[in-house]
Amino acid sequence: MTKWRVLSATVVLATWCVRCSMAQTLSIPAQELVRQTVQNEVNANGNAKYMFRDRKETQRGSQTRLMVETKDSMVGLVMAYDDHPLTPEQRKNEQARVGRFLKNPDELKRKQKQERDDAERITKIVRALADAFLYEYDGTEPGRPGVGKVGHELVRLTFRPNPDYDPPSRVEQVLTAMHGHMLIDNNEHRIALIDGTLMKEVSFGWGILGHLDRGGRFLVEQGDVDNGHCEITRMSLAFTGKILIFKSLNIKSDEVYSHFHRVPPDLTFAQGLELLQKQEAALAENHPQR
């Protein structure tokens, strides 16, 4: 058999395997596929830690930060505003801002608590996905950078609110009015994308605490960043509403996470800050302030 026939046979075999895998996936009820994937997401928190870049754009402009995960807490240093490097004075102020966590242990404890609370809210939302929505298969899409894994076929599902779902807290209540679609990387059993839009106003606390307007949208993308390790690569939010009846709420942001590099899992906060300072100094040398 010539090398071209071998190559042709390999392509046919690979295609057949993908189709078999997809057929097996589609034989599972969509609800069950989501339930299995959600369980894997909840259990997927490993010990791997990363340094990465975080660019967040809001109505007031953009902010780019270097971030690193440590065993104590997340450490972040602003490196640019509106894509312009910091001035020497801004760098000095930023170093002082982050340095206060080392000088004041109570500040670091408050930061750790906030991160735990944020992680708990995210886990509540992820756990609720299997019950809050009703799902239907809607074809497939190829994986792409930042969404699933390149070369993998992603299962696309549409979702709508489950009328029988009773949210256990205000955190999950926003899901009761959300419609949209989800992409699942079935090879990795991970969620690659969730795109949801509010189809009606959502009230909190009988409307006394506030509400979110119809049309609010959130988008979360997750992709392979390190040979099988998934991380969130983009998060976009666009919501309006009111808090405590009279205070307007307007959230509009687009946050992209990139340039992931693995770091030692036992990094302390101080070591993480030192690592970011070295990286930030190197970047400042290559891109001096004009």
Question: What percentage of the chain exceeds 90 in pLDDT?
Answer: 68
Q: How confident is the model at residue 227, as a pLDDT?
A: 84
The DSSP call for residue 7 is H
229-277 pLDDT per residue, tens? 899 999 999 999 988 767 888 889 999 999 999 999 999 999 999 999 8
pLDDT in tens, 14-31: 333 444 444 455 679 999
Residues constituting the chain: 290
SS3 157: strand
Residues 200-237 pLDDT 10s: 998 876 555 788 899 999 999 999 998 888 999 999 99
Q: 3-27: string of b/e by CB count within 10 Å (b at 16+)?
A: eeeeeeeeeeeeeeeeeeeeeebee
- Candidates 191, 159, 156; CA nearest to 175 is 159
Q: Write out pLDDT tens, residues 102-137.
A: 999 999 999 999 999 998 999 999 999 999 999 999
Instruction: Provide the terminal-to-terminal Cα distance of the chain, rounded to the nearest Å.
Output: 63
The pLDDT of residue 17? 42
Split at pLDDT 50, 70, 90, the class of 281 is confident
Report pLDDT for 37: 96
User: What pLDDT digit, counting tens, does each position of 45-99 carry?
Assistant: 667 899 999 999 999 999 999 999 999 999 999 999 999 999 999 989 998 999 9
pLDDT of residue 25: 53
Q: Which of 197, 261, 195 minimizes the C-alpha distance to 225?
A: 261
Closest Cα partner for 249 from 202, 290, 288, 187?
A: 202
Q: What is the pLDDT of residues 134-192, one digit of tens each?
A: 999 999 999 999 999 999 999 999 999 999 999 998 888 889 999 999 999 998 899 99
Residues 167 and 173: their CA atoms lie apart, in Å, by: 5
- The pLDDT, as a whole number, for residue 14 is 37
